[in-house]
A = this chain, B = another copy of it.
Amino acid sequence: MKTLTTGEIAKLCDVNLRTVIRWIDRGALKGFKLPGRGNNRVREEDFISFLKEYDMPVPSGFKSKEANKRILIVDDELPVATAIQRVLRHAGYDTSIATDGFRAGSMLLKESPAVMTLDLSMPGQDGFDVLAYVRATQEVASTRILVISALDETSLNKALAYGADAVLQKPFENAQLLTMIQQLLAGE
């Protein structure tokens, strides 16, 4: 469970630390106190619901943690991408498609999807490298990534090692895809 200190919140809200403590004392922001002298901690989700309740802007690094059901589908073969999209849309998810690396990277940051499906073998684009990059990029590091690939098991394991949250080997059943997406969205 990720928590925030008063100082961190102060920076995020561009406000004085003293003020954050007052918000907590007043009950506007839900938090709890450490045993020591009563240093405050605020759960990330409480902070976000606080921001939303008061119509305050959510810092970019937290957007991904909003209950966002958007799914970004990355695959250079449009027919494959639309097939995946059809299944997910049918299940009620908001989806977007990126058929090249530039669009994928751009849309990932623009939309902060909860889940990204990733084709490992895109022309001119090393899938493992994409995984490493996403995990190293703070703004989107928490995106859940489902690697979809026709490559062998060794490559899929490698993908997991590089930071994929789940892998799905082509060809696959629609039901498999849906189950995995649901699991990824459920697992916080």
Q: List A residues 44-103 near B (Cβ within 8 Å).
A: 50, 54-57, 59, 76, 100-103
Residues of B within 8 A of A19 (CB): 34, 36
- Judged by a CB distance under 8 angstroms, whether A130 is at the interface is yes
Which segment, of A105-113, A145-153, A154-162, A171-179, faces chain B? A105-113
Chain B residue nearest to A137 (CB atoms) is: B106
| Minimum C-beta distance from A8 to chain B (A) | 12
Given contacts A1-B57, A124-B124, contact A103 B33 (CB under 8 A): no
- Judged by a CB distance under 8 angstroms, whether A17 is at the interface is no
| Minimum C-beta distance from A56 to chain B (A) | 5
* Bound form: Cα–Cα A29–B35 in Å: 9
Residues of B within 8 A of A130 (CB): 102
- Judged by a CB distance under 8 angstroms, whether A2 is at the interface is yes
Chain B residue nearest to A122 (CB atoms) is: B124
Which size bracket describes the interface of A in this complex? 35 or more
Partner of A105, one of B14, B15, B32, B105: B105
Given contacts A104-B105, A109-B110, contact A56 B32 (CB under 8 A): yes
| Minimum C-beta distance from A110 to chain B (A) | 5
Given contacts A35-B28, A124-B125, contact A133 B54 (CB under 8 A): no
Chain B residue nearest to A46 (CB atoms) is: B57
Residues of B within 8 A of A14 (CB): 1-3, 41
Give chain A's interface residues, CB within 8 Å of chain B: 1-3, 12-15, 19, 22-23, 26, 28-29, 32-36, 41, 43, 50, 54-57, 59, 76, 100-110, 122-126, 129-130, 133, 137, 139-140
